[in-house]
Copies of this chain bind each other. A is one copy, B any other.
């Protein structure tokens, strides 16, 4: 009688910096070729003619060990001659492009213009950077996160970078998500026979994870999952570790807590990881809540959180 394959594969859904850290942790504690990382592309945009995929780059740089540890975004050992010269030419200075980071954008834009898909370019970059995990944009079709604010509709980067999240958020839409084709390899990974766990990384629920879930095939695959799905809080002690998640929760009339995030994933996850410093949680129906250290400052922190998440998944089988 054939045995079911041992569940070894992991799929992580993630956005930018925080999510990329846990994705890196997972890549460090399992055989990294068993890991599929599905990355939000709702923030992607064109700037100065260059196609910029901020979350994909955060994941690539994190897994390649190239992330800047202080700034929290972009590449380590970065230089800034381009921006200085661009300002001299009175070009747009609101979006910071590091000199080395530019190589990613220029080469990606060039390859896309040659007809390569975003997933093919991403796979190529991952390969040359020595990344064994599979890094997949959620879709090769453009999906655009749009924010309705008290200043009207804004594109994500306009809200996030240009206006530094100052406008008050009223509503979010993911343009073209309903018709975008989910990355086939990502959907297949979510339905693998040997799947061990689905991990929703500690990313902003509104603008990093929900754009992925807005694509029907991903929402369906999570609803129909046959393995534990675990989400990790991006909120610790009532604050976002990074970015506007807490401000967004508040402006949308939700409690600023990890549990508010957990509730948004109802029906899609089996367990939610709160930070160990957070108080005991009120129960959320259908979701097991666990407390573990979630702040990732060192590589060891990333690995420990990855271990904890996978142990929780295994315990839920």
Contact = CB atoms under 8 A, between A and B. Distances in A.
In this complex, the member of A83, A99, A109 whose beta carbon has the largest number of chain B beta carbons within 10 angstroms is A99
A85 B109 contact: no
B75 A106 contact: no
Nearest to A114: B49
Contacts of A49: 49, 106, 109-110, 113
A48 interface: yes
Contact of A128 (B82, B90, B104): B90
Copies in the complex: 2
B107 A89 contact: yes
A65 interface: no
Nearest to A86: B103
A206 interface: no
Interface of A: 48-50, 75, 78-79, 81-86, 88-91, 98-104, 106-107, 109-110, 113, 125, 128-129
Given A79-B79, A81-B98, 13 more contacts: A48-B106, A48-B107, A49-B49, A75-B85, A81-B100, A82-B100, A82-B103, A86-B106, A89-B104, A91-B103, A91-B107, A91-B110, A99-B102
